[in-house]
Structure 1
C-alpha cells in the first residue's frame, strides 16, 4: 500500500457519507443508454424457455440482468421530488435497482463457440440487441487477467462497467459510492438469473483493471470495469475448440466510438477520480482473506429455518414507492431474508457484518440485533449505548417491519487491499442488499434500499472506530401504490408488482395484516 492510496481513500470517504443536494442541471444529463452506431447488430429473442437455443438463453440472461422489463406509469414530480397534481409520466423499468433510477452500469460480452461468432459485444438494452465492437475470441484474453481464473474455459465472459457521470450528474462525488454498491447489486442479480437458467456462474472482483479497460476500448476516466462474470454451459453454446488470439493482438484493433458518451471526471469529481485511479491495477493482484469480524456477543434468539432461493424473487422484486404499511411480519420470512443476505457470493470480500432492527416482527422483541450466520440467530445488542428515535422517526425507515444494516469499515482493508478496498467493501454491501431484496420478494414481502449513511444508526448500534452502517434494506408490507406497471413481454414477468400468489405466500409465512395490500401494483 502506498501513501497515495491511503490519501485517496481517506480523502474520498467523507464524500461518500451523504448525497450532494445541489440542484440538477438538465443540460449536464448524459444519454440514458450507450449506443455504438453503425456496427453490426444481433437482435436477441424476447422470450426464453428451458431447452431453448443458446441465443435465447443469453437474451433471457441479459434482459433479466440489465434490460428493460416493464413500463411504469407514475405521478409527475418536480426537480425536488414533489408530486405535480394531475400529471403522469412513464418510464422503462429495469430488473435491478439503481440509485435514482439512473443505471450507470453497462454490459460487455466476450462470446464464441458453435452458436455465436467469436467477438466482443456490447449490450444495448433499449433495443435488446448486441453490438459487435471487435471480432475475435476475447474470452481467453479476459480470463487471463483475472486473479482467480475459472478452472475450465467459460462459455461467455461478461464485464460490467460503470459510466461515472451517468449518476454523478445528480449525486456528484457520492455517486461513486452508489456505483460501487450497484456493481454488487448486479453481481448478485447475475448469479440469481443464471441460477434460474441453470447456467453455472462465477463472480470476479479482482482483475487487471487497466488491461481490461484497454481491451474494451474504454476511457478509464469516464467509464471503467467493475465486475467480471464468467458463465459456463448454454449461455453461448460452449467454448470454441482451440485457443483464441492473444491480448496484444486484440487490443491493437480499434473499438468504434460510442454515441453521446459521458465526459471524463478528473475535473468534475476530483475525489472520485483520485480514489478510482488509485484502485486500478496492471496485474491480477492478490486476494488475502478479508478482515475477520469478532464473534457476535449477546443473548441469542434462535431463528426458524426458511431456505429462500433468490432466483424466485426476480420477477416479484419492486421498490415500494409509497413506503410501507405499519404492519408486522413473521420471524420465519425475516430469518430467510437474513440468511440469504448474509451469505454473500464466492469471489466477493464477504467483509460486512449484518445488523438488524426488528421493529414489528412476531416472536422478536423490538430492538437492535446483530445476525450470527454460524448459529443462525440474532444477538441482542440492546445493552449498547444508542438512541435510534431520530432514525425511526424518518419515513419510510420507521414504517418498515425490519431494517437490515450491512456494517463495515471503509478504511479497515487498506492493508493488504490498498485503495481497492473501498470498491470491494461496497460491492459486498450491494450483494447483501440485492440478495436480501430478492429473498424478501420470494417470501411475499417488499424491500427498498435506503442509500446513504445515517450517523444516528452508526452511533445507535454502538459501533467502534471507523466501523459504520453502509446502507439499509427496509423490509415490510407495501402501502397501496400510486403507480402502475406492466411487463414489456410476457415471459418471466407479472402484470402487477404483487400478485395474488405473492399475497398468499406472505400470509402463509406469518405476515399479520393491519390493512390491505392495496389494489394497485408497485413500481
Structure 2
C-alpha cells in the first residue's frame, strides 16, 4: 500500500468508534505518560499560578518553564464517573487522569522533550515527566549547533531560552485504534501545540513552530527508538522577539545531512516503562513514519494558501467588537468535551461573531511553512452549519476570516443530514446550534510536501481545533471534536469537491450542562 492509498483509506471510512471491549485488553493498556528510570531529575515548582497576573512574568526562567509545561501537558485532575448504557445498565465507575488538552479516547499519545539553556539548570536535553512534574536528564551539554542544523539553520538556538520537541508514542493509540491511530495522533499533536503556544505566551515567551527537520538527527539526540516514537514538531521559545532568532527559509550556505549530524554525537539509550506487556506490531504506521522523514534539509519546502471559488454567495456580515480578554487559566480548569450534554438554546449573533473573531485572531502562528516575505497564509478553511442563531438564517456557511463574514453555501436546517452522517450516536446534533468543520486539500498536503504533508495538515487542523475550543469557552459554550462522521456527507453539504478540499474533523459547539462526576484537582 502506497502512502497515498493508506492516507485515503483513513478518511474514506472514518472510524472514531473504539473497538469492542473484547478486542481491547485494557488490563494491558499502556500508561498515558512515559516513565524513564534511573536518570537525574530536576523537580519543577508545583505552586503553579491559577490566574493571570500576580507577577507570573517576574519568576525565574526555570519556574516559568515549569508553569508553561504544566499548563500545556501536565496531569491536572482525576475524574471518576459512571456511564449508563442505552439499556439502562450502569457500568462500574471509570477513573481517568486528565490534562488540559482534549485527546482521542483520553489516550494522550504525545511526550514533551526540552532542550534547556538557562542558568538555573544544567544545559542539556530533558524529558518532561508529567506524572511527577519534573524534568529527567537524558543528555547533558550544549547542543545549539546540532539543533540549529537539524532545523536547517532557520532558528538561532543560541538566542533561545529553550526548545520543546513534541513526539508521538505510537503504541499509546495503536493498542485501541490500530492503524487509525495515524490520523488521531497528528490531530492530538496539533491540539497540544496550540495549548503549548498559548501557555508559553502567558509566561512571557515568544515561539516558532518547525514542522520540518532532520528526524533521525533529533531521534539520535534524544535517544529515541523510531520504531516506537517519533518527533512531530519542534518549538523554540525565547524571551527575545522571535524576529531576531526565527527564520522561515533555509539559508543557502548548503544542506545539512541527518546521517552526518548523528555521527557527531555518541548514541544514548535509556530504560523507560510503558506497562504494556504485549505490544503488537504496527508496520503500516512505521512505514508511513519512515516515508515522512527528512534525510536532508534540501527537502524542506514552503506551502501555499487555500483558495476559494464562491463568487456571488449570500453573505452575513458579522459585528466586530472588542474581543473579550481570555482567561486562559480559567479555560484550562473548565474545559470539557460534551457528548450527550449539549442543550439547545438560542445563540446571540454577538457570541457567534466573537467566537469566530477570536478563532481567526489567534491564527497568526510563526511556522517554517510560510514563503519568504509573505504573511502567514491559511492552508485550512472553516465551515459551519448554523441553527437557531439570532440574525443568521439557518444554513451551511464558510467563514471568510479576512472579511469577517459568513458566506452561505446552502440554506436550511441541516441537522438531520449531519446526524444521519454520524457513525456513532454519542452526540445528539439536534441539540447543537453550531457544527464546525475544518477543511483541507483533498491530497492532504502530499502534493506540495510529500508524505510528511499529511501529518503537517493534521497538526495544523488540530491547532485550529484548539483555537476554536478556546474561543467557544470564551463564549460560554463547549465543543466536542469528532471523527465519527461520513466525510462524503460533509463534502457534499459544503460542495468541498468544487474547492478541491475535504472535511478533516467535525466539532459540534453549543451550550451544555455539566456531567455528574467526582472530580479531584491535582494542582499544587
Which TM-score band (shorter chain)? 0.7 to 0.9
Q: Which runs of 5+ in 2 are unaligned?
A: 49-55, 246-259, 370-377
Answer yes or no: is 1:302 the counterpart of 2:302.
no
For residue 416 of structure 1, give the secondary structure of its aligned residue in structure 2.
helix
Whether 1:374 and 2:402 are equivalent positions in the alignment is: yes
2:373 equivalent in structure 1: none
List per-residue Cα deviations over 1:409-429 (Å, max 9, x = no partner). Answer: 241532321111101111111
Matches within 5 A, 1:9-408: 9-16=4-11, 17-19=14-16, 21-22=19-20, 23-26=23-26, 28-48=28-48, 49-75=56-82, 85=90, 87-147=92-152, 149-151=154-156, 153-233=159-239, 248=262, 251-260=265-274, 268-284=281-297, 285-297=299-311, 298-306=313-321, 307=323, 312=328, 313-342=331-360, 343=363, 345-347=365-367, 350-382=378-410, 389-392=416-419, 395-408=427-440
Aligned partners of 1:208, 1:103: CA distance in 2, in Å? 24
Check 1:56–1:35 CA distance in 2 against 1; reply closer, same or farther (3 A cut): same
Quote the offset at 1:132 in angstroms: 0.8
TM superposition shift of 1:111: 0.7
CA distance in 1, matches of 2:135, 2:408: 51
Question: What stretches of structure 1 of length at least 5 have no aligned partner?
Answer: 240-245, 491-523
* Cα separation, partners in 2 of 1:368 and 1:163, compared to 1, 3 Å: same
* Structure 1 pair 84–258 and aligned structure 2 pair: CA distance change class (3 A): farther
Q: Secondary structure at the match of 2:480?
A: strand
**Structure 1 CA distance for aligned equivalents of residues 86 and 120 of structure 2:** 47
My pick for the range that moved more, 9-18 or 415-424, is 9-18
The worse-fitting range, judged by mean Cα deviation, of 202-211 and 252-261 is: 252-261
Residues 109, 339 of structure 1: alpha-carbon distance in 2 compared, 3 angstrom cutoff: same
Deviation of the 1:82 alpha carbon: 8.6
CA contact (8 A) 2:223 2:268 kept: yes
Q: Which segment drifts farther, 66-75 or 321-330?
A: 321-330
Given that 1:357 and 1:366 are in contact with CA atoms closer than 8 Å, whether structure 2 keeps it comes out as yes
The answer to whether the 8 Å contact 1:138/1:250 transfers is no
Return the offset for 1:43: 0.9
Report if aligned partners of 1:24, 1:169 keep a CA contact under 8 Å in 2. Answer: yes
2:306, 2:380 within 8 Å by CA — same for their partners in 1? no
Distance 1:233 1:452, change over 3 A: same
- Distance change >3 Å, CA 100–CA 348, structure 1 → 2: farther
User: Which secondary structure does the structure 2 equivalent of 1:33 belong to?
Assistant: coil
What does residue 511 of structure 2 align with? 477
Take 2:99 and 2:156, find their aligned partners in 1: how far apart are those partners?
33
Q: 2: CA distance between counterparts of 1:310 and 1:9?
A: 40
- In 1, Cα distance between the equivalents of 2:348 and 2:278? 48
TM-score by length of 2: 0.82
Q: Distance in 2 between matches of 1:323 and 1:204?
A: 37
The Cα of 1:388 is off from its aligned counterpart by: 5.6
Once the two structures are TM-superposed, the CA of residue 26 in structure 1 deviates from its matched residue by 2.8
Q: 1:147 to 1:472 in 2, by over 3 A?
A: farther
How far is 1:149 from its partner?
2.4
- Taking the aligned partners of 1:146 and 1:223, their CA distance within structure 2 comes to 19
Q: Give how far 1:387 is off.
A: 6.4
Q: 1:58 to 1:39 in 2, by over 3 A?
A: same
